[in-house]
Structure 1
Amino acid sequence: MIRHIEGSLQAGEHRFALLVSRFNSFITQQLEQGAIDALRRHGAKEEQLHVVHVPGAYEMPLIAQKLARSGNYDAVLCLGAVIRGGTPHFDYVAAEVSKGVAQVSMDTGVPVIFGVLTTDSIEQAIERAGTKAGNKGFDAAMTALEMVQLLRQI
């Protein structure tokens, strides 16, 4: 018989760190609220959630690493918004934060969830922070819930 392993969507007693960028805060505040909403809907209590603010997305990997290695959290959610401008800065920041977040997860074995919007326009970011395209903070929290439970079963 084939055994299927899936993560459930229950917070249980797990603890979550939400790492939120202050840059583009009009977007990231919505991502933060979406993530908190998802976690609370799935059983997380306020004392299981800690929000940490960083200046921008580029600073996320270092703080995510510190949080993941602390042993205090079962998952770290990285929530930010990198919006393309007229210079190559977007490309550097988007590439480094995505690589850094993935590396922290691989190095620590703690789910570090990439909830950083990388969009071509402010309008696209707004759509992904709670309007037309849903709330990617909510989606990141759902991924965190599933990954925490999945890792417990493997």
Structure 2
Amino acid sequence: MPKFIEGEITAQGINFAIVVSRFNDFISQRLLDGALDALKRHGATDEQITVVKVPGAFEISSMAKRLALGGRFDCVICLGVVIRGATPHFEYISTQVARGVAAVAFESQVPVSFGVLTCDTIEQAIERAGTKSGNRGWDAAVSAMEMVSLLKAID
């Protein structure tokens, strides 16, 4: 029978960094609220959580890299929103943010969760930030907790 390793969803003993974009703040704040709610419901205290606000989604990955490599945090939760407009800017930004966050996780070997919404409309973003489709900030926080637990389990 194979050995199965599964992570736990707990905040105990974990130091969290959250990077959140200020652009489209009315949505990114909901994502942040969801992430904070998830962490606290799973045992985190304010002392375990550091929130860094960056200007826009493009800046998320560079800040995440600094935090991941700094040695103070067990994981980094990335939150923001990019909404399609009338120009190709959406494709450039959303692609680079996703690639950048993935690169940080790969290079640092620190769990980095992706809670950046890439939506065609404001309505889609609102749905994914705490209404009809759940809260992707909450989901990103849960993913971060589970990945920290998994890495500890395999070490």
Per-residue deviation at 1:2?
1.6
Per-residue deviation at 1:33?
0.4
> TM-score scaled to structure 1, two decimals?
0.99
Aligned to 2:114: 114
For residues 114 and 37 of structure 2, what CA distance do their matches in structure 1 show? 17
Where 1:29 maps in the other structure, the secondary structure is helix
Per-residue deviation at 1:12?
1.3
Where 1:19 maps in the other structure, the secondary structure is strand
Aligned to 1:124: 124
Q: Which amino acid aligns with 2:2?
A: I
For residues 84 and 117 of structure 1, what CA distance do their matches in structure 2 show? 11
What is the count of residue pairs matched by the alignment?
A: 154
For residues 3 and 122 of structure 1, what CA distance do their matches in structure 2 show? 44
Per-residue deviation at 1:76?
0.3
For residues 124 and 35 of structure 1, what CA distance do their matches in structure 2 show? 19
Instruction: Note the alpha carbon deviations across 1:72-122, whole angstroms, 9 max, x for none.
Output: 101100000000000000000000000000000000000111100000000
Q: Which amino acid aligns with 1:104?
A: V
Aligned to 2:14: 14
Where 1:117 maps in the other structure, the secondary structure is strand
**Which runs of 5 or more residues in structure 1 are unaligned?**
none
Q: Which amino acid aligns with 1:81?
A: V
Structure 1 segments, 4+ long, off by >2 Å, are none
For residues 11 and 70 of structure 2, what CA distance do their matches in structure 1 show? 19
Where 2:73 maps in the other structure, the secondary structure is coil
Instruction: Note the alpha carbon deviations across 1:30-49, whole angstroms, 9 max, x for none.
Output: 00000000000001111000
Where 1:60 maps in the other structure, the secondary structure is helix
Aligned to 1:33: 33
**Which runs of 5 or more residues in structure 2 are unaligned?**
none
> TM-score scaled to structure 2, two decimals?
0.98
Aligned to 1:56: 56
For residues 79 and 60 of structure 2, what CA distance do their matches in structure 1 show? 9
Q: Which amino acid aligns with 1:106?
A: F
Aligned to 2:96: 96
% identity of equivalent residues = 58
Where 1:40 maps in the other structure, the secondary structure is helix
Where 1:141 maps in the other structure, the secondary structure is helix
Superposition map of 1:65-76 within 5 A: 65-76=65-76
For residues 35 and 123 of structure 2, what CA distance do their matches in structure 1 show? 20
Superposition map of 1:80-91 within 5 A: 80-91=80-91
